[in-house]
Amino acid sequence: MGSESLTYLLIGVLSFGFLIPKILEYLQVAQPLSKVPASLAEYLSEEKLTEAKAYQRANFNFKLVTSSFTFLLTLLCVTQGWFGSIDTWIAALGYSPLVNSLLFFGLIFVVSDVLSLPFDYYSTFVIEEKFGFNKTSVRTFFFGQIEGICTFPACRWRPTSCISLVDSFHGAPFLVAVLAGCSGIYGARECRIYRLDPSFIQ
């Protein structure tokens, strides 16, 4: 399989993984607000149910923006060859293929965390604050973000090592096939959940 075919396949996998969950989430958010069952009327008021629905919609709209940003940035990295440039730069350091893969994915994870920081801040201190769910201070928030980045080697090296080993032994086509299979399983699971109970999130 040529590099161009791999690129198109990867774009297809990324698009599938982005679109299917968003369509299902939209269908859930678009569900009309149901009345409180008589058996729950003592514990749940119409006002609380309306507020929960508003919170759900606010989260959906915000996550649509953040996931679209991530999706478009990933597409740019794939189509413009940025991932290849990073891989070439790391390979020039002279480490083994496994270490190079770990450095590559580690760098991607750290950059992703840093880029998501403004979105996480807005979600915590604007959306969560608006609905009265935020119990986090600014100091605690930033310390948590720094801790997450610093503990990357301890928390993420095992899954990253597995991905790196797959890539080392089987090459890019097998890795893309694994990603496609995972996306297919995830999409099928989401479809099954929605089919069984399309209003479960309310």
What is the tens place of the pLDDT at every residue in 68-106? 999 999 899 888 888 888 888 988 998 887 778 778 888
pLDDT tens digits, residue range 153-196? 555 555 555 555 555 544 555 555 555 555 555 555 545 444 44
pTM of the model: 0.71
Whole-angstrom distance, CA of residue 202 vs CA of residue 195: 15
pLDDT tens digits, residue range 31-44? 887 777 777 777 77
Domain ranges (residues) in the chain: 13-27+47-196
Whole-angstrom distance, CA of residue 202 vs CA of residue 200: 6
In sequence order, the 6+-apart residues with CB closer than 8 A to the CB of 58 are 127, 130, 131
Of 100, 88, 71, 87, the C-alpha closest to 13 is 71
- Upper half-sphere CA count for residue 119 (Cβ side, 13 Å): 16
Whole-angstrom distance, CA of residue 124 vs CA of residue 67: 16
CA distances, 168 to each of 21, 102, 193 (Å): 30, 11, 35
